[in-house]
């Protein structure tokens, strides 16, 4: 049965779930990655020490299907949502869905853009660029500057995975009206993003943690956009579905 929404109540439980838990996970991930060798242990599984190469770095399936074609699916979804937003000004049936469609488009644009900006201002190299894997750069912690004469790294967080993780927008769209479908949307977004990220990890283009960082960043972007675009609109509906 529908439950009235108390608009005046601070949604602290949502804030703890949407922001507090990801930030706590980020703190734990930082400590785990920066002070253990867990990333290297995982990437070593796909590295050939004899040839000093990642054998699957130029694998056709991973490069063409996993790196390019899989990204085109996300491009189609994002621009289809934008087209639907524009059409909603003339098509009556789309008008009630305008705000969720706009939210979806913005998450799929701004989430990867935020990840790309972090890649521009941090100094983490791709595994195949590190000297331990036959590359040219020494390993650096997240906030360490590049050594003189060494090109700055641009591999943190994982950019390719961010587009897939942006599909978690469907969770926020359906979280009140269709909670089961919302959880399926979250699972699909996390699974698609991690699949894209793992493909790049196998190729030596990212450490596993780069993709986990990407998931955290995109989730926080989605939550902020949800607060700005969707929450008040959902509150105005006056019901909370799925107790």
Q: Which residues contact 91 (CB under 8 A, 6 or more apart)?
A: none
Question: What is the distance between the alpha carbons of residues 78 and 221, in angstroms, rounded to a whole number?
Answer: 16
Paired tokens of 130: 């590190």
**Contact in structure between 88 and 94 (CB atoms under 8 Å):** yes
Read off the pLDDT band of 13 (50, 70, 90).
Answer: confident
Q: How far apart are CA 160 and CA 149, in angstroms?
A: 28
pLDDT: which is higher, 144 or 55: 55
The answer to whether residue 87 scores a pLDDT higher than 60 is yes
- State the chain's mean pLDDT as an integer: 91
pLDDT at residue 10 is higher than 80: no
On the question of pLDDT at 104 being above 80, the answer is: yes
Report the alpha-carbon distance of residue 110 to residue 99 in Å, rounded: 16
- Tokens 């995975």, residue? 161
| pTM for the whole structure | 0.91
Which residue from 153, 174, 150, 166 is spatially nearest to 218, judged by alpha carbons? 166
Is the confidence at residue 90, as pLDDT, over 60? yes
Instruction: Say yes or no to pLDDT of 8 above 90.
Output: no
Residue-wise pLDDT tens digits, 43-63? 999 999 999 999 999 999 999
Percent of all residues in the chain with a pLDDT value above 70, rounded to a whole number: 93
b/e per residue, 36-51, with b = 16+ CB within 10 A? eeebbeebeeebeeee
Query: pLDDT at residue 11 above 80?
Result: no
Q: How far apart, in Å, do the first and last CA atoms of the chain sit?
A: 8
Complete DSSP assignment for 14-80: HHIIIIIHHHHHHHHHHHHHHSS-HHHHHHHTT-BTTTTB-TTTT-HIIIIIIIIIHHHHHHHHHHH
If one compares 1 and 77, the residue with the highest pLDDT of the two is 77
Residues of the chain with pLDDT > 90, as a percent, come to 80
Q: What confidence category does residue 235 fall into, taking pLDDT thresholds of 50, 70 and 90?
A: confident
Tell me what pLDDT residue 230 has: 94
Question: Is residue 17 scored above 50 in pLDDT?
Answer: yes
Q: 234 pLDDT band (50/70/90 cuts)?
A: confident
Say what the pLDDT of residue 7 is: 44
């Amino acid at each position: 049965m529908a439950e009235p929404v108390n608009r005046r109540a601070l949604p602290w439980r949502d804030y703890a779930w949407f922001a507090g838990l990801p930030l706590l996970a980020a703190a734990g991930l930082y400590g785990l990655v920066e002070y253990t060798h867990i990333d290297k242990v995982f990437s070593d599984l796909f590295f050939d020490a004899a040839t000093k190469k990642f054998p699957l770095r130029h694998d056709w399936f991973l490069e063409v299907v996993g790196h390019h074609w899989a990204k085109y699916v996300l491009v189609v979804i994002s621009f289809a949502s934008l087209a639907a937003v524009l059409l909603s000004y003339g098509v009556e049936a789309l008008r009630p869905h305008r705000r969720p469609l706009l939210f979806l488009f913005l998450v799929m644009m701004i989430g990867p853009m935020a990840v790309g900006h972090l890649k521009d201002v941090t100094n983490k190299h791709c595994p195949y660029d590190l000297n331990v894997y036959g590359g040219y750069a020494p390993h650096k912690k997240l906030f360490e500057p590049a050594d003189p004469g060494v090109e700055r790294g641009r591999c943190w967080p994982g950019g390719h995975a961010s587009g897939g993780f942006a599909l978690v927008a469907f969770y926020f769209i359906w979280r009140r009206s269709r909670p089961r479908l919302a959880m399926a949307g979250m699972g699909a977004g996390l699974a698609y993003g991690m699949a894209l990220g793992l493909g790049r990890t196998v190729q030596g283009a990212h450490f596993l943690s780069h993709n986990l960082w990407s998931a955290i960043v995109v989730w926080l972007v989605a939550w902020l956009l949800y607060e700005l675009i969707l929450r008040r609109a959902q509150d105005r509906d006056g019901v909370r579905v799925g107790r």
